Every structure is written in C-alpha cells, then in structure tokens.
Chain A
Amino acid sequence: MVPDPPRELREVVAAVRSGTASAEEETRGILDRIERFDPGLNAFHEVFAEEALAAAREIDRRVAAGDDPGPLAGAVIAVKDNIATTLGRTTCSSRMLESWRSPFNATCVERLLAAGAIVVGKTNLDEFAMGSSGEHCAWGPVRNPWDPERVPGGSSAGSAAAVAAGLCHAALGSDTGGSIRQPAAFTGCVGLKPSYGRVSRYGLVAFGSSLDQVGPLTRSVADAALLLEVIGGNDRLDSTSAATDVAGIAAAAESGTGRLDGVRVGLPSEYLSDSNHPAVNESVRAAAAAMERLGATLVEVHLPLTEIGISTYYVIAPAEASSNLARFDGIRYGRRAEPRAGEDLESIYARSRGEGFGAEVQRRIMIGTYVLSAGYYDAYYRRALQVRRLIGEEFARAFTACDVLLGPTAPTPAFKLGSQRDPLSMYLCDVYTVNAPIAGICGVSVPGGFVEEDGKPLPMGLQLQAPAFAEGGLLRAAACLETALGRCPLAC
C-alpha cells in the first residue's frame, strides 16, 4: 500500500498545535513514505527515524501539557547535508567528510528545533554544493521524482526531491549560484534564496562565503515565508548576518487580496533567450499575462550583463571555494591518506585531498587556484569583482523601474542523468540564477506549469527577484502568482 501523501506544513502545524493531530502520527506517516520512495530517489543520506519520533512525542507531550510548542510544531524538516547537525553526520556528500560529526548545530537548525520542528534526516547534494544536477554526490546520484531518468537539479538535490515526493513537509537547502532555486524549478517546489545576510551562515559548510545563503524548499510560498521568519534574523555567530528585522515577512506574503495593483513587474528581454526551451519562454509569458490580469503593470527592462554573470560567477565562486576548502587538509578533521614511509607533510595534504575530493570539487579548486595565482589575480579575480559591482548597479537601475523581476529559473526543464558530460555546458545552465547571489538580492522559484518530455510531465520554474531585504514584497508577488497558476501537486 502506498502511504498517504502528507498534509501541508501549515496545516500540520495548526493541527498539532491545537491538539487535533499528533506529531508522532504525522512523523510516522513521513517515515513510511521515506521507506517506500527514497530507495528509488536517493534523496536522503541519513534518516533519523527514532530520534524524529522521540522529538515528535515530546511535541505532543508539550501540547498536552498546555505549553506553546512553537510556530513549527510537528513540521517534519529535511536538512541538506552541508548544514551542521549534531544528530548524525555532516558529510557534504563528500568522501572527505564521510564520517565527520559536527560538535554543534548550525544556527538555522537551532532555530528550527526551538520552533518545534522535527529534523528527519540529512539530504544528498552535489559534493560541497558544487553542481547543478545532483549527480556529483559521493553517495550516488539523486533522481527526480517526476522522472527517475532525469536529474532533480542541484546542488540541493536531495532536499528538492524529498519535498517534491512528500518525504518531508519542507527542507533546508543552500544557494550559492542557484542551488535552491534551480532544483526547486526542476522538481515543482518553491525555493527561496534569501538576500545575502538574511540567514546566518553559522554551521553552513562554506563554499563561496560572499555568495552562500541558507533557505527553504517548500510546497507553497506561505510555507517558505514561515520558514524564513524562523531561520532568518541576526546572529552574533555570523558577522555577515544582517540586523534587518525578519518579523512580518510571512504576514506581508499573505497580505492583500491576491491582487497586484500598483506592482511593477520587470520583464528583462535577456531572460527570454532563443536558446531557452520554447516551453520555458511560453511559461514566462503566461505568468506575465497572469500578473497583469491581477493588476500588475508590466515593464520592459534590460539586464545586458545577464550572460556575463556566468563568467563572473565562475571566477568568484571557485576562488572563494579554493580558499575555503584549504581547511580540508586531512589533519584536524576529515579523511587522511595512509602515510607512506618517508613522506613529507605536503604530500600527506595533497594525497588526502586527492583521495577525499571528487572530480567537480577538484576542478573548481583548480580554477580557483589559477585565478588567484600570481600574474592572473588582476585579470581574473579582481576584474570579476569589478564586474560584480556593475551587475549590482544594473539590478539597482532595473529596480528603479520595477518592484520585482520575472523570468525563468532555468533555461530548460530537468535534463537526463549523464547528459551534461562537459563541465562548462553544466555551468551555462546557471545563467538565470548566478546574478542574484553576485548582487546579494533575493530570489524565489515558483512552479510555472509543466512540459511533457518522453511522455512524462516535467515541472518548470518561474523566478521572481527583488532588491535585498525586500522578501516581503517578493513573496507576496510569488503568492499571487502561485494562486493564479495553481500549486504543483506531489510527484508521488
């Protein structure tokens, strides 16, 4: 028997808080579905069945005792495995950290637990969050629940697959160049990349420190807003976390009457490229028409630096990665190569790293090391940082003419496993998602309908972007669009 699909996050929380549903029963239902569906998806690296049930019983006990169990009471959440948890291991889907256990929880995890959420397991990713397909995972590729021959996108591959298949109520991912939004698009989820500084990075294993953000993958925009309010806000353990108030975002997302009167929606001509899948462009045009019918004004804007964002990103992100990943030297934690007689220390470092890191991580470390090396730093790294400023200025000019930008999340729907053999062609898929982290603005992917490929419906994602710390308006526009276009059902 196929276990029933889970209820939606806010419905579960309301029922658990009022005592009309048991968190234990809800958790058991999720665990049954994981057992049934995850063997074919490989979304989870570890599942905390006993611990999750114990946490759920504690929530039920608190409700029975009349305590406030928190705004996420009974919500069963999956956590990307590059976010530190004291429960289980934190492997970043890398042999380098195969058996590493974090001595602390990430701030976002602490905040989830304090809000009554139940952490059900750790999800697979492209190793160290480097990849756009979920294939670069040391524990095997993650599969798309809409078509197991296709990728779920990446790097938050397991989190997206788990949400789309109903193996959790919501999940945490991380986004450096699109790693929340693109897998959300490929699997029919909502994926929010908050503004840089909105969510503490404490406990997120660093990839590109000036780009990384933790954010939610959910089945609805309102769930994403609720999760952002819980995990967001200032944290003294991350000096780049912003003091900007996070309260009121969920209320803002739900405000209004579903109308977009007075909202200016920018449509960059660069986002409707001929090289996109035709159905993707149709989906964007249909969304624009839907927003106009809700009262929004469509504005044509230009973002001519869109494409150069890829080149800029693939300088900055590998440069920061090569520096951040220098800490994995086989000495203090992680994998250490078996020492050989007479071997020097540098050789131990190099062999530990060569054995521990997979091909894509090695590639990015090589690129990053090259662009930071003497003689090339100015031509690549410094120049990319200059272009970064120009990209931010270009967004700022666009946002004088519009409140949100509309476009596709990815140029195509989910592609087949193994179809992107050339690393560069995979990088080019990130064209619509890299610029938001480069500029630090926020962006969300919402389901934008389906296209049929090989007789199977594949979801497509629509991306809305807004200025830094404008998540309230961003999510309100996203919620209206979601209502107009309809929600994406579970894949199984």
Chain B
Amino acid sequence: MSKQGPSSDAAAPAPPELSAADVRKVARLARLSIGGDEQAIERHRRELVSVLEHIGRISAIDVTGVEPQHRPLDASNRLDPDEPGPTIPREQILAAAPLAAAPFIAVPKVLADGS
C-alpha cells in the first residue's frame, strides 16, 4: 500500500486512500488477474474504497480489553482415534485435475531452463 498501515493499537483507520497501484498490489497478493486496463482497475478501486469506508466503522466501537473471537462458540479442537478410514481413490483425484499424466497431476513447467 502507498501508506503505512495503522499500528496494532490504532483505533481508527483513516478514510482509505487507495491508488491504482494499491489495487494492483492487493490483486497480486490475491493471485488474481483483474486485467491491466485502467477502467477495470478504477472500478475495483472505487468499489474497494466504498466497502472499506463502511467496514471501517468498526473503528468507532470501543474494544479495549476484548479478546478476539475466531469461532462463534470458542470450542476447542478435539482428537479422534487414530484409525485408518477410507480414502479417495487416486483415479478420482486425477480425474478432477485440469491436466493429468497418471499417476501425476500435470503442471506447467515451473523452473526456467538451466536453473
């Protein structure tokens, strides 16, 4: 982002000033191709700003000393007996992949020649 984000105890995020470069950075972090044309970027920017302004209202709530709640019921993890169960057959996993060369899922080349 073009501005340094608030520190951990900052109460109020300033009204977000999002640039086209910020939008591209968020899209890059999300591994999401949103197209390079300026109109598309501007549309994403405007929508993000309007939503961020609204969700920023949570900064008005006093949360001093309140523990974050990740799950609604604060349930703790439980352990299951370590017993083998049925698994999904390999052929079905391969059938679901966009490209397979049994017994592998085929992927594009990830290493440059000579690396």
Contact = CB atoms under 8 A, between A and B. Distances in A.
Task: Give the secondary structure class of A's interface.
Answer: helix
B101 to A, nearest CB: 13
Interface string A334-357: 111001000111111111011101
Given A331-B105, A339-B108, A440 B5 contact: no
Nearest to A209: B71
Task: Please give me the 5 A-B residue pairs with the lowest Cβ-Cβ distance, nearest first.
Answer: A375-B5, A440-B72, A354-B33, A385-B68, A336-B98
B99 to A, nearest CB: 7
Task: Give the secondary structure class of B's interface.
Answer: loop
Looking at B7, B44, B99, B107, the one whose CB has the most chain A CB atoms below 10 A away is B107
Interface string B28-48: 111111110000000010011
B26 interface: yes
Contact of A210 (B8, B72, B99, B108): B72
Contacts of B29: 369, 373
A420 to B, nearest CB: 13
Contacts of A382: 8, 68
A293 interface: no
Nearest to A343: B108
Contact of A331 (B35, B50, B98): B98
25 contacts: A104-B88, A239-B77, A305-B61, A308-B58, A310-B54, A312-B55, A314-B55, A315-B58, A345-B110, A350-B31, A354-B33, A362-B44, A363-B47, A366-B23, A366-B48, A367-B48, A369-B30, A371-B55, A378-B6, A378-B8, A384-B58, A386-B66, A387-B58, A389-B67, A468-B72
Contacts of B60: 308
Interface stretch (A27-35, A283-291, A422-430, A474-482): A422-430
Interface string B53-74: 0111111110100111111110
A443 interface: no
Interface string B63-99: 1001111111101011010000000110011011111
A392 B54 contact: no
Interface of B: 1, 4-10, 12-13, 23, 26-35, 44, 47-48, 50-52, 54-61, 63, 66-73, 75, 77-78, 80, 88-89, 92-93, 95-99, 105, 107-108, 110
B107 to A, nearest CB: 6
Contact of B97 (A310, A333, A368): A333
B31 A346 contact: yes
Contacts of B68: 382, 385-386, 388-389
Interface in A6-20: none
Contact of A369 (B9, B26, B54, B95): B26
Given A211-B72, A336-B99, A382-B8, 18 more contacts: A101-B95, A197-B75, A312-B55, A331-B107, A334-B98, A351-B33, A354-B35, A366-B23, A366-B34, A368-B30, A369-B30, A370-B26, A378-B6, A379-B12, A386-B61, A388-B68, A427-B54, A439-B72
B5 A332 contact: no
Contact of B80 (A197, A236, A367): A236
Contacts of B48: 363, 366-367, 370
Contacts of A326: 31
A383 B59 contact: yes
Given A239-B78, A339-B108, A392 B55 contact: no
Contact of B73 (A308, A344, A367, A468): A468
Chain A interface size, under 10 / 10 to 19 / 20 to 34 / 35 or more: 35 or more
B96 A333 contact: yes
B89 A424 contact: no
A197 B72 CA distance: 9
B69 A311 contact: no
Interface string A217-247: 0000000000000000000100110100000
Contacts of B77: 239
A196 interface: yes
Nearest to A330: B98
A22 B93 CA distance: 38
A379 B98 contact: no
A186 interface: no
A310 B51 CA distance: 11
A242 B89 CA distance: 29
A379 B59 contact: yes
Nearest to B81: A236
Contacts of B63: 383, 386-387, 390
A101 to B, nearest CB: 7
